[in-house]
Amino acid sequence: MPGPGRKNQIPTAKPKDMGATVKRLIKYLGKQKKLLIAMIALVILSSLATVAISVFIQPIVDDLLIPAVGKKFSFSLFSGIKNYIIIIAAIGVISVAASYGKAKCSVLLTARTMNFFRKEIFDSVSDLPIKFYDTRPNGEIMSRFTNDVESVRMFLSQGLSQLVSSSITIIGSFCVMLYYSPVLTVLVIVMVALMIVITRLLGKKSAYYFKKQQKDLGIVNGYIEEIIEGQKVVKVFNREEETIKRFGDINENLRKASTGANTFASILMPLMNNLSHVNYAITAAIGGILALKGAMSPGSIIAFLTNSKNFSQPISNLSQQFNNAIMAIAGAERIFEYIDEQPETDEGYVTLVNAKKDANGVITECPEHTGIWAWKHVHQANGTVEYKELLGKVEFENVTFSYDGKKTVLNDISLYAKPGQKIAFVGSTGAGKTTITNLINRFYDINDGKIRYDGINIQKIKKDDLRRSLGMVLQDTHLFTGTVKDNIRYGNLDATDEQIENAARLANAHEFIMSLPKGYDTVLGSDGGNLSQGQRQLLSIARAAVSDPPVLILDEATSSIDTRTEKLIEQGMDKLMAGRTVFVIAHRLSTVRNANAIMVLENGRIIERGDHDDLISQKGRYYQLYTGQFELS
């Protein structure tokens, strides 16, 4: 049996263009050019200082120590060595200072780059359509913000400077080695070439497992979040064993990927270190032979060996950073997938504005809130402006819709709602009731037909303005971390404390709010977990009420509230929506009796319409539902 969220898992992604991803990451770093240039300059200075220190070994050995062999100690010898020591110490201080500056620049560069990086992905995800969230588990989305961003951050903070430092050290050491002995330099190059070949072979395997690890980590996080959120459902149906088994399967996939990635990563570094030691030993032996033949001086050999270590050690560091780079690129690819997602398009040009009427009923735009709203229609043909009062008239004309382009959810739907009318939708689950409300606010766009709002095709209305004119109360409430007052004010950020209290009274929430420890200043956390489902729904209704919407959509808004509270809420809603349009979806038929029009849907079609008395007299499906001969599923 598939576990919860199985259908939402992301399939294995095809390999992406690594080069393009790296170039894109460099563009982000380029936004901090001064810091980047400063860091590179300090890295170069630190690396050159490291190489320079080795240069002074040769004159100390050849010019001072070897000539003094067999002679008595003299202060002149100490004085000569002292001068070199002072020079080496000074270079060392410069190297340390440069390393400190490099580290500080690296931290600042990483922090600022990641700040911009996170902001861009958050902005991108915020602009995506509802369909994006309907097809992905929350944990998978969160994994992009946490695991993938962290993998990029770790590489930028540690690996980037090491890559530059290692590259400079390699170049500098190579030049010094070539100066002392071209023959030994060729030997070192051959050994390093062998190390590079091994690194590439192991790197391919490592890259595969690191990419798979990132993907499997997202799946695991998504599953954990889904199960924790649905823990009550799991326990009610005794599905603990199934969820544990399912977690074991996906966790095992992650273990295998992590084991593969870390196995190759663990092999690589020791292997490079051992090859480096072998290289050092062979170079020392051949250098000794050259010294015996007079081709090299002892000081030159020591200086060469020091530089050969400076040359091969960065190769080992590069091999270690290669794994971090692969993981960072894999994470960046997944992040860029979200950044590159097509944002919600909006070609609307009709906007919603505050308005007022003069004595002749002429509508004009005004900055202050007057309680009157108007659609501002700028005609694209000649640029003239037309104002039309927002009344709340909604019309569906032969609307057909499919979520996936295959299965039709709504089929040739036609209906209208006059201003101030209460329109109710009833029908079995999957009949298309919620889909109709999703189309009104353009969470999805229709495939065929037209939807008009006050006679304006809603595709001409800017989505933000369209949704600002609609208040929605959903069955699944969502409260944010913050005070009760803040959660209600979310419907209208400019609402005063008085308006918030009036909205709460209207929704019948004031009484229970005042019973909370700090009343309206009580802090809610974890989606209002310290409140009952009914109380959360009351706050959700108050949030819609404070926005003072011209049109209100109630999608099973009272399903979690007892009958007594439901009656009080309906009375408050009737006052709120006087002269405005209301769309109601309800399983309780008692809540729709006073609707002006009731639409009975089945399989995406309206099979009956009329008010309560009309539908009862028809003795059709509504009559069967109301009398209990047929139950909603």
Put simply, whether the predicted model's pTM sits higher than 0.85 gets the answer: no
Q: 368 or 14: whose pLDDT is higher? A: 368
Residue 538, token pair as written in the block: 């009351």
**HSE-CB for 92 with a 13 A CA cutoff:** 8
Q: 577 or 284: whose pLDDT is higher? A: 284
pLDDT confidence tier of residue 15, bands split at 50, 70 and 90:
very low
Residue 63, token pair as written in the block: 């010019």
Whether the predicted pLDDT of 207 surpasses 70 = yes
Which residue has tokens 């002074």? 56
Do 384 and 427 form a contact (C-beta atoms < 8 A)?
no
Q: What is the DSSP string of 13-47?
A: PPP--HHHHHHHHHHHHGGGHHHHHHHHHHHHHHH
What number is the average pLDDT over the span 429-445? 88
Chain CA centroid to CA 128, Å: 11
Chain CA centroid to CA 555, Å: 28
pLDDT confidence tier of residue 566, bands split at 50, 70 and 90:
low
Complete domains list, the chain, with CATH: 6-339 (1.20.1560.10), 351-389 (no CATH), 394-627 (3.40.50.300)
Whether the predicted pLDDT of 449 surpasses 90 = yes
Residue 239, token pair as written in the block: 């599905």
Nearest-angstrom CA–CA distance, 66 and 59: 10
Backbone φ and ψ of 598, nearest 5°: -120, 125
Check residue 14 and give its pLDDT.
35
Element containing residue 409 per DSSP (H, E)? strand 408-417
Whether the predicted pLDDT of 485 surpasses 90 = yes
Amino acid at 12: T
Nearest-angstrom CA–CA distance, 373 and 283: 85
Amino acid at 352: L
pLDDT confidence tier of residue 532, bands split at 50, 70 and 90:
confident
Do 118 and 150 form a contact (C-beta atoms < 8 A)?
no
| Beta strands 597-602; 422-427: pairing state | parallel
Q: 7 or 112: whose pLDDT is higher? A: 112
Amino acid at 211: K
Nearest-angstrom CA–CA distance, 240 and 243: 5
Residue 314, token pair as written in the block: 């960065």
Nearest-angstrom CA–CA distance, 600 and 606: 6
Cα–Cα distances (Å) from 120 to 21, 334, 344, 470, in that order, read 16, 14, 16, 29
Which residue has tokens 């099979």? 607
Residues forming beta bridges with residue 346, ordered by sequence position: none
Nearest-angstrom CA–CA distance, 533 and 73: 91
Residue 542, token pair as written in the block: 């108050």
Range list of H helices, 429-532? 433-440, 463-468, 484-489, 497-506, 510-514
Burial string for 515-548 (b: 16+ CB within 10 Å, else e) reads: ebeeebebebeeebeebeebbbbbbbbbbbbbbb
Check residue 414 and give its pLDDT.
93
pLDDT in tens, 234-272: 776 677 888 888 888 899 988 888 888 778 777 777 777
Do 413 and 441 form a contact (C-beta atoms < 8 A)?
no
Cα–Cα distances (Å) from 196 to 99, 213, 271, 272, 275, in that order, read 27, 24, 11, 9, 11
Check residue 397 and give its pLDDT.
94
Check residue 67 and give its pLDDT.
72
Residue 502, token pair as written in the block: 């009036």
Check residue 2 and give its pLDDT.
35
pLDDT in tens, 611-632: 888 999 988 888 888 887 555 5
CA angle 232, 237, 242 (to 5 degrees): 95
